[in-house]
Structure 1
């Protein structure tokens, strides 16, 4: 049995929050979603936040990031969670 993820969005505002900040490139971090222009994955940011790091701490540790990048990572994750449909084939 194979599973496919289909991404469909009806919320244009949520898409616009992350579309310009998140990239997926098979040559960078094995195709994981990353902050455009960096090798920092969305999952890295989510992990740091879940471990209790504040946005300010992340920005101090990773000066290449902007607050908008962290918010884009959160929007991307929320969008993906809300719109992923598992389709069994």
Structure 2
């Protein structure tokens, strides 16, 4: 079960990063736009860190990226 959790977490992190980069936003800009420290997004996107998004973060990120929070999730369970 733990491996599935890691896989879904990786999927969401990659999707947020892809959408963020597609919109031309830096990690720092997105972090500040959602009211977090300048390293919040970089800590999440770094493979060695264990920082995590929660539902509230994903909703706030979706507002900034002008997309739906469901855009971060896979179409089917992983």
Q: What TM-score results when the alignment is normalised by the length of structure 1?
A: 0.31
Give the strand-richer structure, 1 or 2. Answer: 1
Q: What TM-score results when the alignment is normalised by the length of structure 2?
A: 0.34
- Higher-RCO chain (CA-CA 8 Å, sequence separation at least 6): 1
Larger radius of gyration: 1
